[in-house]
Structure 1
Amino acid sequence: MTRRPGLSVRLRLTLSYAAVILVTGALLLAAVWLFLLRYVPDQALIVRADTPLHGVFPVRSTLLRVFAPRAAALLGFLLVLGLLAGWFLAGRMLAPLTRIADAARAAGQGSLSHRIRMTGRQDEFRELSDTVDTMLGRLESHVAEQQRFAANASHELRTPLAISRALLDVARRDPRHDHAELLDRLHAANTRAIDLTEALLLLSRGTVSREPVDLSLIAEEAAETLLPLAEQRGITLEVTGGVAPASGSAELLLRMVTNLVQNAIVHNLPAGGAVTVHTGDDAGTSVLRVENTGSTLAPDLVPTLTEPFHRGTDRVRGDEHPGVGLGLAIVHSVVRAHGGTLGLCPRAGGGLLVTVRLPGTP
């Protein structure tokens, strides 16, 4: 639908100021007529000299003949003054709004780094400016994160696809190639691509379904699933603690705990390591702790472990579980979607302590 062009806000404010001044002047002139001129006699009066009111009194018609043109000129002057002053004052008042509009227009054209940074007193425009700056900062951070994630995801997805294409090219050139080995390697590459795709879908979810869950039951299920992997590596896997009621998606929370336990097993000592999973309730907050042994982690490495596709190169792991670099990134995404917090702390003797806190339920 086509919108008809209307008056600008500045022009409307100018007309409003001028109208207020004009009406105020007209009311003052009306008050002069009502309380002064109406009591002037319309005919000449002769007053005796011995009275308090003596002298020459003007006639009402004479006063009106002199007063009316000057009153009209005064109203015209007030109108012009109202228009000029209103235009100037409206421009001064709307100048911050113009800056905010320029920033929004620049953001609409893709420039999210622009900030208003308005100074002066804390008023409505200053509050709106600070809100827009905060919004632009979050948008810039979100867009940068999405761009970095998309670039890394494209790179990671290209790897298993390139491996599959290379295997197929080898089989096409050599029909006598061992098909069993080819199928196994294709299956491994396809599995890696599927795992990566599922991980990307988990990271892209913005909302989760809500249902009562118990983190202790989820932890036991994840530990039971990964127990063969722990036994294969000679790692002791133990689940302790009590009930930890929470609200959220059981599927996503199971994936979260599974990723934590799997990371704790894979990034561990070559032999004789241990993984401890503990659940409990802390003043209405459901707590899950996953602790493992391993090599000593640098303090500056720990905050980067939740970034997508970032792998801790100093952590011990085996080649049979190359991973996709999304383990803790998925955990962080799931925890954030459930309104919880994720804490990473390197252990003094080596390894990592991961603490997940979720809002509890009665």
Structure 2
Amino acid sequence: MDREPGLSVRLKLTLSYAGFLMIAGILLLAVVWVFLLRYVPEEIYIPARSEPPGFPGPPFVPDRDALERAFAPKVLAALAFLLVFGLVGGWVLAGHMLAPLSHITKATRLAGDGSLSHRIQLDGRNDEFRELADTFDTMLARLEAHVAEQQRFAANASHELRTPLAITQTLLDVARNDPNQDTGELVNRLHLVNTRAIDLTEALLLLSRADQRAFTREHVDLSLIAEEATETLLPLAEKHGLTIETSGDIAPTTGSHALLLQVATNLVHNAIVHNLPEGGTVWVRTHVRPKTVAFTVENTGKKLSAHLVATLVEPFQRGTERIRTDHAGVGLGLAIVKSIVQAHDGTLTLTPRQGGGLSVTVELPAAR
């Protein structure tokens, strides 16, 4: 944005300091005038006395005119000194006070040029400038992490989308070079690849929708959403020989019913497909807290390291040591959950269970 040139903040503060000092000096001199000179009469009459020859005359008593003539030059000199002192002192003091802004400006320019690794890190005790610098450093750290996450997401998404397209091209090339190949098998394989590409595209669209918060909020009950997701995935759990246990209280919150149902469905689905081969269990619970409501999904399974659990919410981080051969998904399940939860001003917590498996808790603001 083009702006007209103006005075610097340092010069404005200098003029403010000097002006304030001048006003204080004028007020002080006005007080002297009011409480001193106003009581001096304009003329002082001294009656004549008969004195012997050689005796000095009556003493000189200054009247108001004489005091004004003596007072005015001193006033002007004092005001001139105050003006010079105020300008010089104000310039030095303003420069000292605004010194932290130069560091903040430098960091801002570096960030504007694309360098997000620079930090201000102002020293000294806490004040307004240091609070601003600390806030800016925190913003830069979050922005750097977000940009890095977006870069990884773009790279992984490109790789994931390129894979089904490459497979499709390979199948078509083989079919073109071998006209006698069974078209039925080719169609089936193309259908599977195309279905996976569609699922990935829909997951990316859902993730983008959640990031943009493009949804209508309404009153929903997490316990009903958990029950709906559990009933939908119950046949899959029975197929894997798992048991699903549900419990909890009514947990009212506000948000999108469809997106929160997607959260519950993704969590329960992950708990089913990343479980023990047989005899595993999935626990689905809802909790009511003073200001929040929580939805927790736990499952049995292999022991997980804290490092692996910390990476599961990143897009396309499937956790290969937990993956089964079927229902593997597109690697966006927990990433979608995280995005939807953040869009609802909630928190997502993943904790490895001591006996193996994973515990995932979604905490959302309680509905008023």
User: What TM-score, normalized to structure 1?
Assistant: 0.84
**Contact 1:44–1:57 (CA under 8 A) maintained in structure 2:** no
Residue of structure 2 equivalent to 1:255: 262
Residue of structure 2 equivalent to 1:36: 37
Are 2:74 and 1:73 aligned? no
Residue of structure 1 equivalent to 2:200: 196
Are 2:115 and 1:108 aligned? no
Task: Give the SS at the match of 1:11.
Answer: helix
Q: Which 10-residue stretch deviates more, 2-11 or 35-44?
A: 35-44
Are 2:303 and 1:331 aligned? no
Are 2:299 and 1:295 aligned? no
**Contact 1:47–1:55 (CA under 8 A) maintained in structure 2:** no
**Aligned match of 1:214 in 215, 221, 237?**
221
1:76–1:212 CA distance, 2 compared to 1 (3 A): closer
Are 2:174 and 1:170 aligned? yes
Separation in structure 2 between the aligned mates of residue 42 and residue 282 of structure 1, nearest angstrom: 88
Q: How many correspondences in the alignment?
A: 359
Task: Give the SS at the match of 1:314.
Answer: helix
**Contact 1:222–1:258 (CA under 8 A) maintained in structure 2:** yes
1:37–1:245 CA distance, 2 compared to 1 (3 A): closer
AA partner of residue 311 (structure 2): T
1:177–1:239 CA distance, 2 compared to 1 (3 A): farther
1:25–1:297 CA distance, 2 compared to 1 (3 A): closer
Task: Give the SS at the match of 1:306.
Answer: coil
1:70–1:241 CA distance, 2 compared to 1 (3 A): closer
Shift of 1:134: 2.3
**Contact 1:49–1:55 (CA under 8 A) maintained in structure 2:** no
For structure 1, the residue ranges without an aligned partner over 5 or more in a row are none
Task: Give the SS at the match of 1:353.
Answer: strand
**Aligned match of 1:306 in 300, 313, 318?**
313
For structure 2, the residue ranges without an aligned partner over 5 or more in a row are 52-57
Separation in structure 2 between the aligned mates of residue 346 and residue 27 of structure 1, nearest angstrom: 73
Matches within 5 A, 1:35-184: 35-36=36-37, 39=40, 42=43, 45=46, 55-58=59-62, 61=65, 63-184=67-188
Identity percentage of aligned residues? 63
Separation in structure 1 between the aligned mates of residue 76 and residue 251 of structure 2, nearest angstrom: 83
Shift of 1:55: 2.6
Separation in structure 2 between the aligned mates of residue 284 and residue 64 of structure 1, nearest angstrom: 74
Separation in structure 2 between the aligned mates of residue 176 and residue 105 of structure 1, nearest angstrom: 65
Shift of 1:337: 2.5
1:47–1:98 CA distance, 2 compared to 1 (3 A): farther
Q: Which 10-residue stretch deviates more, 64-73 or 294-303?
A: 64-73
AA partner of residue 362 (structure 2): V
Separation in structure 1 between the aligned mates of residue 167 and residue 199 of structure 2, nearest angstrom: 15
AA partner of residue 8 (structure 1): S
Residue of structure 2 equivalent to 1:230: 237
User: What TM-score, normalized to structure 2?
Assistant: 0.83
Task: Give the SS at the match of 1:170.
Answer: helix
**Contact 2:37–2:64 (CA under 8 A) maintained in structure 1:** no
**Contact 2:44–2:61 (CA under 8 A) maintained in structure 1:** no
Shift of 1:332: 2.3
Are 2:359 and 1:346 aligned? no
Shift of 1:47: 7.3
**Contact 1:21–1:78 (CA under 8 A) maintained in structure 2:** yes
Separation in structure 1 between the aligned mates of residue 30 and residue 247 of structure 2, nearest angstrom: 89
1:62-111: per-residue Cα shift (whole Å, max 9, x none)? Answer: 55555444433333222222211111111112222333233222222222
AA partner of residue 77 (structure 2): A
